[in-house]
Amino acid sequence: MNQLNAPQGTFTLNRYPLRAKDTLRAWDAADEYILQFIAEAQASGEVFQNVLIINDSCGALATALAPMQPVVMSDSFVSHQAIRQNLQSNRPEEAPLHLIDCLQSPADFLPTTGAPADLVILKITKSLAQLEDQLHRIRPLLSENTRVLAAGMVKAIHTSTLDLFGKIIGPTHTSLAKKKARLIHCQPDLSLSPAANPFPKALPLPEHRLDIVNHASVFARDKLDIGTRFFLENMPASDEPKHIIDLGCGNGLLGIAAAGTHPNATFTMVDESFMAVASAEQNFAQNHPDRTTNFQVTDCLTGIADNCADLILNNPPFHQQNTIGDFIAVQMFKDAKRTLKTGGELLVIGNRHLGYHVKLKRLFGNCTTLASNKKFVILRCIKR
């Protein structure tokens, strides 16, 4: 189940973090399609020296193509961990991987400094905003001879996807579908004058007296989502010197609002998205420039000390990349219990139908409803 057979070799790949009875593979048919195409291109004489890989979810591409010494760019801390672990377990002899986040410049890490990229490989995600931002970021790296190769499952590739490539990079066409995956071929047109990158975007919230900026990967970057709005309307208040954690902070809005109702609190803002944490850091500094705040990119609360928090705010995601489920929420709840002080509180917002109260009561031994409406519920647990 976890063995990838590709023209570049056979590799044992795992998703991160490791979960018991995880039946999902660490790669998809789009990864296989890419690796087959690159092997055929090399067999026909193409040589790739400056290689950039974007959105490799678990390291299938980085591991198989490691001899090329690619620069690998991802916004996900979880993906970074998976890439490192899979590369180490399959190719420990390879040179250190150039693994960067989506706010860093790939040009600073390409093997041939100052030269354009020979090959750019981009895995398509669900987010058009993220794709638009990434295409703008890679355009300065391209020459007319750069091979730009994108891939994704057919259900993730739409006319709007291809339009972005055409508007920002150049003429674009797709391959035939194989195993429900498709390749996108794009020829760089250096004469194009695309519009400026619209990211990061400002999101003024005058009703809450806040000004927010969102990078491309941030959830609800264009408007305040209704779940967060409901949480803001029911934000608790206290003058006590609490340590508050915004778990899965996104753009930091919950923590920023809590800073207004907890004037003596210190804050830790945590997310697995580098762009989310960068947005939160900028937003917190803009709205509360004098407050003590720690920002950390990590998986749930990995690396956060036990028994350190008085209050944790949590709006858990229900998917990781393309995988939908409550496994992230459950891990967040477990990490929150470990991190809270005795007597500390966890506040969780979720859609009513998700049934978080069952899991929380089993874990904490208690769970009450702080507020609810027809769609959402805010749950409160206390660490005994």
Q: Check whether 324 has a pLDDT greater than 70.
A: no
Amino acid at 271: D
Q: Check whether 147 has a pLDDT greater than 80.
A: yes
The pLDDT of residue 197 = 97
294 shares its domain with 169: no
The pLDDT of residue 155 = 95
Walk across the sheet containing 71-73 and list its strands.
98-100, 71-73, 51-54, 119-123, 147-153, 181-186, 172-174
Q: DSSP 3-state helix, strand, coil percentages of the chain (rounded to 5)?
A: 35, 25, 40
- Please provide the size of the chain in residues: 384
Which domain-ending residue is among 135, 155, 186? 186
For the chain, the domain total comes to: 2
The pLDDT of residue 114 = 85
**Would you place residue 84 in the very low, low, confident or very high pLDDT band (cuts 50, 70, 90)?**
very high
Q: Check whether 241 has a pLDDT greater than 80.
A: yes
What does the pLDDT look like over 12-25, one tens digit per residue?
999 988 877 777 89
262 shares its domain with 378: yes
Q: 3-state DSSP call for residue 289? A: coil
**Would you place residue 318 in the very low, low, confident or very high pLDDT band (cuts 50, 70, 90)?**
low
Kindly report the backbone phi and psi dihedral angles of residue 185, in degrees, each rounded to the nearest multiple of 5, phi listed first.
Answer: -105, 130
Q: How far apart are alpha carbons 75 and 98 in whole angstroms?
A: 14
Which domain-ending residue is among 124, 154, 186? 186
Q: How far apart are alpha carbons 51 and 111 in whole angstroms?
A: 8
Q: Decide if 135 is inside a domain.
A: yes
166 shares its domain with 297: no
**Would you place residue 95 in the very low, low, confident or very high pLDDT band (cuts 50, 70, 90)?**
low
Q: What tokens appear for 281 in the block? A: 């850091």
Q: Decide if 160 is inside a domain.
A: yes
The pLDDT of residue 171 = 98
Q: Decide if 195 is inside a domain.
A: no
303 shares its domain with 227: yes
CB 246 within 8 A of CB 272: no
Q: Check whether 188 has a pLDDT greater than 70.
A: yes
142 shares its domain with 236: no
Q: Check whether 153 has a pLDDT greater than 80.
A: yes
207 shares its domain with 76: no
Sign of CA dihedral 24, 28, 31, 33: positive
**Would you place residue 208 in the very low, low, confident or very high pLDDT band (cuts 50, 70, 90)?**
confident
Average of per-residue pLDDT values in the chain: 94
Q: What tokens appear for 78 in the block? A: 């979880």
Beta bridge partners of 76: 273
Looking up residue 232, the CATH number of its domain turns out to be 3.40.50.150
List Cβ neighbours of 206 (8 Å cut-off, separation of 6 or more). none
Name which of 78-87, 98-107, 312-321 the model is least confident about. 312-321
Q: How far apart are alpha carbons 378 and 90 in whole angstroms?
A: 44
158 shares its domain with 210: no
159 shares its domain with 237: no
**Would you place residue 5 in the very low, low, confident or very high pLDDT band (cuts 50, 70, 90)?**
very high
Global pTM?
0.95
**Would you place residue 220 in the very low, low, confident or very high pLDDT band (cuts 50, 70, 90)?**
confident
167 shares its domain with 206: no
Mean of pLDDT values over 275-303: 96
Q: Decide if 194 is inside a domain.
A: no
Q: Decide if 193 is inside a domain.
A: no
State which residues form the domain around 50: 3-186
Residue 114 or 201, more confident: 201
Closest CA to 181 of 27, 65, 320: 27
Identify each DSSP E strand in 8-144 by its residue range: 9-12, 51-54, 71-73, 98-100, 119-123
222 shares its domain with 360: yes
**Would you place residue 60 in the very low, low, confident or very high pLDDT band (cuts 50, 70, 90)?**
very high
Q: Decide if 126 is inside a domain.
A: yes
The pLDDT of residue 237 = 97
Mean of pLDDT values over 175-188: 98
Residue 220 or 348, more confident: 348
The pLDDT of residue 262 = 97
Enter the DSSP assignment of 140. G
110 shares its domain with 217: no
180 shares its domain with 205: no
CB 74 within 8 A of CB 97: no
Place of tokens 């949590």: 314
The pLDDT of residue 288 = 95
Q: Decide if 191 is inside a domain.
A: no
Which domain-ending residue is among 186, 216, 238? 186
Q: Decide if 196 is inside a domain.
A: no
Enter the DSSP assignment of 96. P
* C-alpha distance across the termini of the chain, in Å: 41
CB 368 within 8 A of CB 378: no
